Amino acid sequence: MREAGAALKEVFGVVAPLVAPGITTMELNAEIERKIFSLGATAPCKGYEGYPAAACISIDDVVVHGIPSLRRLAEGEIVSVDIVLKLNGFCADATRTYAVGRVSDEKQRLIDVTRRCFYNGISRIRAGARLGDAQHAIQMTAELAGYGVVRAMTGHGIGREMHEDPTVENYGRPGTGPVLKAGMCLAVEPMITMGTWKVKIDSDGWTCRTVDGLPAAHYENTVLVTADGCEILTE
């Protein structure tokens, strides 16, 4: 799992400098695929239930599962790049939301708070804690900042498969949910909206966007539960 995580970090090293006005999301995905395969890894998303690409690239009001296309990134947009790779039989999953050029203070705050949701969430993770402790911390961080927490999409356990038990919601009550054990790996991935948390799926069957058209941000890492905390494998 650590090796898969390290490989995924390398892939994001290629992504960050490419995010700029003018690149198409398909070009960005092609570079991501090239890097994944050059590392000897595979891309579990490609072909998953018919999904056509290695990466999900989601602009502004698209929360998750944006399909790479001829759409060009434009100054002032925010774009989430969500990538899963599999190396030597183990999966890693991570997402970053980038500002394209200069963005509004409002959008930058959404990106920053979403990242903080992740960190506040994982600060509650350790062997013996309950998953609801972390989920609650994510929800409180988002809602106290005035943002929405997407319900329709969740994080998940991860290992030999990209999606394993347990489901990791971004909301919950302390002291509830499964008891965490050292050695478990979780993809913790707050998906946070500037307005309503309600989402709809486009007719392509994938693209998930906010119903009010306001932007969303997403931040995700694969984390390993340890006796006294957790280790982030993808950052």
Q: Burial code of 207-232, b = ≥16 C-beta within 10 A, e = fewer?
A: bbbbeeebbbbbbbbbbbbeeeebeb
Token pair 């006294």: residue: 228
CA separation for the pair 107, 217 (Å, rounded)? 9
Instruction: Work out whether 187 is an interface residue with Co ion (CB under 5 A).
Output: yes
Only segment of 6-14, 126-134, 140-148, 179-187 that touches Co ion (CB under 5 A): 179-187
Size of the site for Co ion (CB under 5 A): 3
Three-state secondary structure call for residue 161: coil
Nearest Cα to 210, choosing from 62, 58, 78, 96?
Answer: 62
From the number of C-beta atoms within 10 Å of its C-beta (0-12, 13-18, 19+), residue 70 rates as exposed
- Tell me whether residue 54 or residue 103 sits nearer to Co ion (CB atom): 54
**Residue 77 binding result from ligand MF3, Co ion, none, given CB thresholds of 5 to 8 Å by partner type:** none
Identify residues 90-109 at the interface with Co ion (CB under 5 A): 93
Instruction: Quote the CA–CA distance of 102 and 75 in Å, as a whole number.
Output: 6
If one asks whether residue 37 binds ligand MF3 (CB under 6 A), the answer comes out as no
Report, in Å, the least distance between residue 117 CB and ligand MF3: 16
Q: Which of residues 184-223 bind ligand MF3 (CB under 6 A)?
A: 187, 189
**Site map 87..116 versus ligand MF3, x via CB under 6 A:** ------x-----------------------
Asked whether the beta carbons of 105 and 76 are under 8 A apart, the reply is no
Window contacting ligand MF3 (CB under 6 A); options: 18-26, 31-39, 44-52, 71-79: 44-52
String marking each residue 160-189 x if it binds ligand MF3 according to CB under 6 A: ---------------------------x-x
CB 188 within 8 A of CB 122: yes
Count residues near ligand MF3 (CB under 6 A).
Answer: 10
Contact set with Co ion (CB under 5 A): 93, 187, 189
